[in-house]
Amino acid sequence: MNTAEHITHADHPHAHGDDCGHVAFPHGDHTDYAHDGHVHRTHEDHVDECVTGGHTVHHNHDHQHGDTCGHLAVRHGDHTDYVHDGHRHAAHEGHWDDH
């Protein structure tokens, strides 16, 4: 997985946490929160958009994600990420990307 870009989500007065009401899921070494098509992570005293830098193909991923795959589906911008094993996968040109 590429290092996440540091993109601050400006003007985000909401504090994410155990009781915030948003879907929370593990992502690498932190917890992400799905919120209005964004994936947020708390960073120091602010919230960042949790995005990766560059294009990271998840090689050897034979499993096909979809409505019945059993993994958490999270809307992320213009696509859906599927969460499992600390990764978010997104379909991209015939393969799965690691987000």
Residue 51, amino acid: V
**Distance of alpha carbon 31 from alpha carbon 79, whole angstroms:** 20
Number of domains within the chain: 1
Q: What's the farthest any 2 CA atoms get from each other in the chain?
A: 40
Write out pLDDT tens, residues 9-23. Answer: 566 677 777 888 888
23 lies in which domain range? 4-98
* Residues 2 and 52: beta-carbon distance below 8 Å: yes
* Residues 51 and 4: beta-carbon distance below 8 Å: yes
Write out pLDDT tens, residues 20-55. Answer: 888 888 877 888 888 877 788 777 776 777 666 666
Place of tokens 């070494």: 29
* Residues 90 and 76: beta-carbon distance below 8 Å: yes
